[in-house]
Structure 1
Amino acid sequence: MGDFNLALVIVAIVVCILVFFFNIYLLVNYQHPDDKNQAYFPKFVVVFGLSIAAISILMLPADVANRQACRHSLYNGACNLTLPMKTLWLVVYIVDAVLVFFVIPFAMFYYEGDQDKSIGKRIKSSLMWVVATAIVCGLVLGILYGVVGKVDFTVRHLSSAATAFPSSWTDYTSNQPCIGSSFHQCSAYAASASSEKTWTMRATFPEYVVALATIVGSVLFSIFGGVGIVCLPLGLIFSFIRRPKAVITRSQYIKEATELSKKAKELKKAADALHQEERSGSKGRKWRKNVKSVEKELLLLEEDVKALEEMYPQGEKAETTWALTIIGYLAKLILGVLG
């Protein structure tokens, strides 16, 4: 059993390290090129948040493996578990709640703040928003904990008389499971409904926070997950409806390509102007807003270019490309209907 305990601890430590480094790889690989070698605190928050999210999922198999240390015991209290899973569950969920309600908002307010302001002013502004959030969350948690921070347990009240250990069990049958001639409420199977009682206990505040975070997370996941599941087939169906109906002529292609090239030149001018503002050091809130606007227009331009290429396939295998495009849209329709 000692070898099993040691192996479980080693595996838990190694998995946590691998999760952390994997999230670092994700950040480095998918970060924006302009964000290299800067904004280290928000990056740390991103890596730490992703790691906590992954570890909270991996806690379930760790808990199952941890129970194997007591598989030869009559009850769980007869042995010492390898990992203090109850404490770890509380720590992970409370850290998750702190990240969601305090650390991540602070990082967002700080990173998205006006770059013309000094670091001290940006920290002060971010702290003001976080403190306001903390006050609201504290009031909500405190009021709810005082009002509904209790747990109700439905139990069945059973009782029986006492007697010396019998030498024979012939006196006890399904009709008379209790000791003595009078019928007592000692059998849960035969007990009446009136024997049910309700015990009310005050939950500890950490457990209450974990339960509340779990409920809120489940509700939000159900909402956003449900919306995503519904929107996916609808998106596939609408993609089929908006598909290109026929191949356009060369003159139409040239006309559309000319319009797209004009739009691309305008976006390039806007991007160059933003780069000049960035080099001059004026990266304020207005600059960030303009950057997001240019990025949005660029995405729309890329979609228009892709649609134009679909409507006018070129090359030696133009007919094959068009046939594959039609088959792809038919597949989207089928998946959308079946989904």
Structure 2
Amino acid sequence: MGDFNVALVIVAAVVSVLVLLVSVYLLVNYQHPDDANQAYFPKLVIVLGLTVAVLSILMLPADVANRQACRKAVYNGALNFTVRHLSSSVQPFPNSFSGFSSGQPCFNQLPRQCAASTTPANSQTTWTMRATFPEYVVALTTIVGSVLFTIFGGVGIACLPLGLIFSFVRRPKAVITRSQYIKEATELGKKVRELKKAAEALHQEERSGNKGRKWRKNVKALEKELLLLEDDMKALEEMYPQGEQAEATWAFTVLGYIDKLIFGVVGLIVSIAWVEHIVISLLIDPPLSSFLNEVFIKLDGVWGLLGTAAFAFFCFYLLIAVIAGGDDAWFETCFHHNSPDEVTASYLGILFFPAVLLITNQSICFRWGGTLMNSFLFNVGLILLCSISVIQFGATAFAYYAQATAAQEIFGHTLQSLRGIKYLYKYNVFQYGFVALAFLTLFY
């Protein structure tokens, strides 16, 4: 093992296995029943994609912890592994970078670094050095991911906790009577028959070859009505549990909404902490405080990996916010309701979200037991693109805590020095957009 900390290696191995198992669990429970015994290759891509995305984000706190355990090998080991891992997230042949080896000498850069160290302190010189190909690929991918991350992450960091809290507020307060259940079920039955007639009419138009813009618009409207019908049916089942264990089912329903309230409150605290940290430590010059950096350092003083665990939680929360902001169900909650006590999405979110759907022609809705493979693949692609941006965002926001790490070297110094794109990161363009969208989502 050399100078690697054994405990850190064990934790990394256990977390990797858990992430793989959770990815399989999500696929099994979120997939549509029609895809249960088919589409095995897309399923493999989904599991690997989710695993790589999550582990890529967790590599940032692991890199911070590794800095303490492996001082001598931080650049030869952590940098090599991080670049390989991130490169594999954005291109299908990670072995093509086999020439980028930890044992490769860097004699061509050594004279420049030595000359810079012997330069007088009062002189100013701009050094131009060639970036490695993996670093530039990651940089270009980070730009695309940063745009999506700014949109979906900014909207999601507000919608995620508030959606959970308002879900608790709109929960069924008590079990309805049998007569009420029959009345509601009858209304749903009428709606089912109407939607069936509309589907048959659209199917007839499809057979006749009349598949113009109006037909596609009607299909989208029918899909939306079917999703709302499923939600109404689930809500009715919650309000009137049946079977021999009806009381236990109702008890679990109540506990589920209490869990949503708890997670919503915790998420709201984390979202506020994130926005506050970005404003006072990145957007204000000079920074008012390092805030969460100091919190992580103090937690490390309590226990070696406690600050790293908190750091990982805050980074992973950003990815959850991206999923929440990009998921169609969250946007339905945000701007397709008219009640004054419900959350509404920002006008920018309304503008950007259809644009993404028009480009991809996919629905990115994550639904328990009802997610089709094309939606799953789109979600995984979105998560992979945004995962690198989450790492860059975390490395920038927690630059003080993540200093002297491979991620900081790549996303801190390299991105801010590359020609053509350095100004986007030097002037915190994406951070401003992230905070602006978060506030617009909250107030509009």
- TM-score range for the pair, normalised by the shorter chain length: 0.3 to 0.5
Q: Which has the higher strand share?
A: 1
Normalised to the residue count of structure 1, the TM-score between the two structures is 0.46
What's the TM-score once normalised by structure 2's chain length? 0.37
